[in-house]
Structure 1
Amino acid sequence: MYFVTKQESLKNDLCELTENLKVGLRENWKQFTVLVIINAFVGGMIGMERSIFPQFAELEFGIASKTAILSFITAFGFSKAISNYYTGRLANKFGRRNLLLLGWIVAIPIPFILIYASSWNWVIFANVLLGVSQGLTWSSTVVMKIDLVGEKNRGFAMGLNEFAGYFAVGLVAFLTGYIANKYGITPYPFYIGIFISVFGFILTALWAKDTRAFVHIESTTDTTAHLDNVFLETTFKNKTLSAVTQAGLINNLNDGMMWGLLPIVLLSLNYNNESIGIITAIYPTVWGIGQLFTGKMSDHYSKKKMLFWGMLIQGIAILLIPFSSDFYVLASISAILGLGTALVYPTFLSTIAQATSPKQRAESIGTFRLWRDLGYALGAIISGITADIFGIEYAIFLIGGLTIMSSIIIKFRMPEQIKITKD
């Protein structure tokens, strides 16, 4: 009797809470803005490693093997992928805000470990923590924004979210490259990470609010058919979800390759840290800024066409890298690659959100992000082994070819109609 009474009480509290809430970007702009700022701090944690890590590995630990150097991306990719999945699975149970706070707690030790690392194993451990932190924080902010805005501006919301994150990746990548060039590869570049992790936690603790109540509001009017098995449908069975999932995996596979091998290519061309920082920063910066426009585009134009062209442009840009040595040509290729990625990144998330019901959305996004971020690990492993055996050029050609193949899968597998409604 007590249990029933308590359940009824919780239900009444939820109904009373949701009466004062409205789904929409305009209605929730203050909380949405807080989450955008928080996600910029989340992106900055990746940017800390983006331009300097291959040189950090070689200078500080004497590691020259491409496979060994890229092991930090492998560790990051596996831990982030698993963290993404469980963040999606547990978001409804424990709350988005609680998982976001946990992600920041995991992030705080990372720059200290990198500063005081006595062996490469400590660096790998730091990147395992970085992957866990990124899965918890980035996945939570994605789901929270989708909860707040509803269907009308979902693509625009994802564009703003990914803009904030990846613009910060590019900005911090440039700053760490500049600082490393002026003051050395360690410890000064990692001081940025201390600032980011501490302030990210403070912002979340003081101003972020949980968004589970918005799911209840949207569920009352949503007509999207429920998936029988979220993991299997997102991965294999549902044509829309599986087509998007494979493209997400390949997108981050090529991003893992760019993260690890592009600085090595630029070092072989005798570029200094500042120039490497600029070229490597252009790609995520264009990727980030571009999403301000492509996110909104995905609300109005064919998501299938945006995904196809985005993956194709990425593949072509990657294939051009081995034929280039001029600074401005490489900078232009980096910008084109960023544009292609900007076309697909918010579109991935808005497509997943449109194709799933509100109550299953967090788990479906978590499943997608599981496979997408396994791409980091696979990209690092495949490109590292290929580069060690055949040379960096062949690794780049392989990844570029896989990216073009992914665009073809989008073309022929993904249907134009995304949402499947209940009978």
Structure 2
Amino acid sequence: MPAACIRLRARSVVRDRANVLAPRRAVGGCVHLRSTAVRQRSRRTFSQAVLPALPGPRPRAEPADSCRMIREDARVRVQHHLLHGSQSLAPATLDSECLNLVRGRGRGNRMQVPAGWISLCVVLSGCLELRSQDTDWPLSRGRYQLWLEGSLRCASHGHGWWLMLTGPATAWHPGTRAPVTDMLPWEAACPRAVMRPLVRLARSGRRAEAQDPATVAGIVADLRHAIFEHQQDLHTHLQRCSGRTRLRRQQTLLRLLRVQHLIRCHLEDHMALGRLAASASYSPCHLVRLYRNVFGETPNEYAARLRCQRARELVCGTSMPVCEIAETLGFESESAFCRAFKQAFGCTATSARRDGLPAPGAATDRMTASPSSVMLEGGGSMAIAQGWLPRGELLPEA
């Protein structure tokens, strides 16, 4: 066979295979298949087979949002633990797949919460000692501590009764891979709206019929809602934080709340500004500027306001001598303390104790006072509060 005929025959075979392997085309709702070209001497004819388009698989209907939320909340599980006397609870004993409710009663019981967990602790009677890293602080009766920063250790050195609900973020918000919680770390007087669902959850562990998953999920949902409502004042500061997204602004607010926590815990130790800035991973000047933009006052003014209220509590609520109060609050002398006290409250410490000023409980709570308030009790301004600053160098204002 001549070479030219061989080349023409090869080209024809390639074209025929291309027609066989050609894809389907949808025209007018039907699927047209290209049939194999029939090679003839004079011409080629193409026959088309028209097949009706077959319907594809139906898309799976997505469940409604309410049904999805019910299934997610139904997966909320709570494991109960009881501590009596000098018993202790190790982190390995806690279940990382669900929430853990710990009831502590008596003297000497202690426990440790792993890092990264969300913990809510309420003291019903007595006092509970809390510790995180190198910071210790007491939690007195009727107060709650919501903790999100690192590990937490609890110890009851005296007779007391306390409740703690702790667990990873996925246990508080089931059904989400990377939950972003709206709860913020804070210490305050425990309102009844937060106390009631926590006590109900503790009582549900005693009765088997009360451990229904739907009932437990409803109680936990009520608890989260009550905490969010009680922290509305803190969430108002979220819009003033720097950051393009809500997650960035929340991280900024968490850093500033960490600074506030250190100031409250070391109020009598006069923590330096450099250490406060290091805890928030900011420079001292940037911390002061950012703190003032969010809360309306500097860390310097916040510490002075708390120290002033602490002085009022010690003068009006205890029989501690004035010289010891001045030494406790870090004043250089008793006269310096009396001068600052008179500028803030309009009377001396001796006359305030003798005339019977309002009890410390009637004063504004030093933990729940609005951080944006820059006026001291008695009409004194923050310029007067310079006397309440620790001895030594003043904190920079910008």
Tell me the TM-score range normalised by the shorter chain: under 0.3
| Higher helix proportion | 1
* TM-score (structure 2 length as normaliser): 0.25
- Structure with greater contact order relative to length (CA < 8 Å, sep ≥ 6): 1
* TM-score (structure 1 length as normaliser): 0.24
